[in-house]
Structure 1
Amino acid sequence: MSQTKVLVIDDDPNVCEIIRLYFTKQQIDLVVAHNGKQGIEMMEVENPDVIVLDVMMPEMDGFETCREIRKKWDTPIIMLTAKDEEFDRVLGLELGADDYVTKPFSPRELVARIRAILRRMQPKAKVEEDAATVMSFDQLTIDIDKREVIAAGEKINFRPKEFDLLVQLAKSPGSVLSREQLLEQVWGFDYFGDVRTIDVHIKKIRQRLEKLPYECIHTVWGIGYKFGVED
């Protein structure tokens, strides 16, 4: 098995050194960029498995860096923030981050989150042979094997977790699934984040399906969401 490579983008040399020392013990290959522009340049040549991205950096902050990375890559991003504020967490998720860690943090926790993300990226066991691999609704087709979505005659690009979440909802049309259920089914037991992750991804899915003449994901207030082609 190849060694995990992590790109850390952080302007604080002390943080980078702490991470380097612990990653070396854990046999994690570390590459470091000290600003957002350098981090984006390193993405082109290093092809990391995971990105650890600091929010508070001069010139190009972590949010802007995340936005630029997401224009070209789906590499998992863990954001480091010194602020334990909901705004920062939600904004990071909306921009495409996969998880966040609040400073001060322990290197052990950071490694645990990296490994949890990599586990969630592993291919899942194939569905039973008699299970449907293509789900068709009015002007909406979801091909599980090809990981394709056709809405109103147009192929729509989804990020991996957005697609998985849509599939999970579409498999049980009319059934109400709580945010906790969706976190467990899509992200797994070892996800460290909070239920707001679901809300952010649902918002993205709705935006991608906006050409449909109907709303297919409905909010059930106080509980979660359900899938249906008509309300």
Structure 2
Amino acid sequence: MNVLVAEDEKDIQNLLKLHLEENGYTVFTAADGLEALAIFKNNVINLGIFDVMMPRLDGFNLLRKIRETSQMPIIFLTARGDEMDKVLGLGLGGDDYLVKPFSMAELIARVGAHLRRNYEYSENNSINKANLNVGNLALDEDGCCIYLDGVLVELSAKEYLMLLFLMKNPNKVFTKKQLYRQVWEDDLYYDDNTIMVHISRLRNKLETDPRNPEYIKTIRGIGYKFHISKVL
């Protein structure tokens, strides 16, 4: 698997490269966002690890450029611990967020989890998978995609996996921790904001009125459920 590390601090860049390569990954490194973008365009990259504050092109704008053509998992690394920065990064389409200083073991675990889940999302050769049709939504599990009024909706791997889990368990309420465990396969590094941002992104893409959702309901003080009256 190929990992792209975009980090302008050379010591951190070298440390990330060393540990990732020790765990069997092929690592491409870049000192700024424009260099990282060029590497991405000329190589097959499976996952990105991006610093937020970089010269020439910062991590958030690098993410915007990459999301024009790819839904690969992207993990942000930053010294900025501000909650709004985290929400912004996830809201733009990032999959995860670590604040420096971070545990290298935690980073490696997250890289493995994201790559594993993204691989499962991309696989189209499973058999005997059913389609789910709810209202104006049609989920094609065999093709790993969702249609809204017959039009394909672009979802990230995590958005698709969360929606699939909710749709296959209609009208059941799940806590944020249960959703995180199911989609990220991780109990240790559970994060409320990650779930809330991904739910918000799904609502913006699927609901007629995201502020008054028809499908993905908030159960105050508990979590979320996928509300349906009838499965076709």
Q: Same fold (TM over 0.5)?
A: yes
Structure 2 counterpart of 1:91, one-letter code: L
CA contact under 8 A between 1:151 and 1:211: conserved in structure 2?
no
Counting only pairs closer than 5 Å after superposition, residues 34-183 of structure 1 correspond to structure 2 as 34-123=31-120, 129=128, 133-183=130-180
The match for 1:225 is 224
Distance 1:214 1:93, change over 3 A: closer
Question: RMSD over aligned Cα, in angstroms?
Answer: 2.6
Deviates more, 1:77-86 or 1:186-195: 186-195
Structure 1 runs not aligned, ≥5 long: none
* Aligned mates of 1:139, 1:120 — CA distance in 2: 27
Check 1:191–1:88 CA distance in 2 against 1; reply closer, same or farther (3 A cut): farther
What 5-or-longer segments of structure 2 have no aligned partner? none
TM normalised by structure 2 equals 0.85
Question: For residues 63 and 193 of structure 1, what CA distance do their matches in structure 2 show?
Answer: 23
Higher mean C-alpha displacement, 196-205 vs 104-113? 104-113
2:26 corresponds to 1:18: no
Distance in 1, matches of 2:16 and 2:132, equals 44
SS in 2 for 1:222: coil
* More displaced 10-residue stretch of structure 1: 167-176 or 119-128: 119-128
Q: Rate the CA distance shift 1:64–1:227 in 2: closer, same or farther, 3 A.
A: same
**How far does residue 106 in structure 1 lie from its aligned partner after superposition?**
3.8
> Compared with structure 1, are the counterparts of its residues 221 and 51 closer, same or farther at alpha carbon in structure 2 (3 Å cutoff)?
same
Q: TM-score, normalised by structure 1?
A: 0.86
Of the structure 1 ranges 44-53 and 16-25, higher mean CA displacement relative to structure 2 is found in: 16-25
1:198 aligned residue: 195
CA–CA separation in structure 2 for the residues paired with 1:30 and 1:83? 24
Q: For residues 74-131 of structure 1, give each alpha carbon's deviation from its aligned partner in whole angstroms, at most 9, with x where no partner exists.
A: 12111101022221221111111111221123433322221222232343899895xx
Q: Is the 8 A contact 2:138 2:150 kept in 1?
A: no
The whole-number CA distance in structure 2 between the counterparts of 1:93 and 1:215 is 23
Question: In 2, Cα distance between the equivalents of 1:142 and 1:110?
Answer: 32
CA distance in 1, matches of 2:127, 2:180: 22
Residues 155-211 of structure 1 deviation map (CA, whole Å, 9 limit, x = unaligned): 222222212211211122222111111111222136734122121111111111134
For 2:84, what is the secondary structure of its paired residue? helix
Stretch deviating more after TM superposition (105-114 or 59-68): 105-114
Asked whether the 8 Å contact 1:54–1:80 carries over to 2, the reply is: yes
Counting aligned pairs with the same residue, the percent is: 36
Q: Assess if the C-alpha contact under 8 Å between 1:116 and 1:191 holds in 2.
A: no
